[in-house]
Amino acid sequence: MATNDKYQMFVYGTNFEVKNTMLLYPKHLEHFDYEMRLGKDEREIGLKIKSIDLACGNCGYGEFVEEMKNRMGELR
């Protein structure tokens, strides 16, 4: 996990006044599943870092989108 990725999420959270952010990486060689806090006090931003399996077998585009929505819902 690159420092630049964490910094970028902190900036997004701060600029858009969002207290919780998430980075998703395709599941490949590494598996990510952790949370951290960036910043401090009133500028603290939560960051979830997760891997998501993009495989969907032989499904079509619409089925793929629905499958990803379901998987995203499980991450909340």
Residue-by-residue pLDDT tens, the chain, 76 positions: 788 999 999 999 999 999 999 998 888 777 888 999 999 998 999 999 988 888 877 888 998 888 888 877 765 6
Which letter does DSSP use for residue 39 in this model? S
Query: What integer pLDDT is reported at residue 11 of this predicted model?
Result: 95
**Domain residue extents for the chain:** 3-75
pTM here is: 0.75
Which letter does DSSP use for residue 42 in this model? G
Query: CB under 8 Å, gap of 24 or more: what pairs does 11-20 form?
Result: 13/38, 13/45, 13/47, 14/39, 14/43, 14/45, 18/45, 19/44, 19/45, 19/46, 20/45, 20/46, 20/47, 20/48
Query: What integer pLDDT is reported at residue 13 of this predicted model?
Result: 95
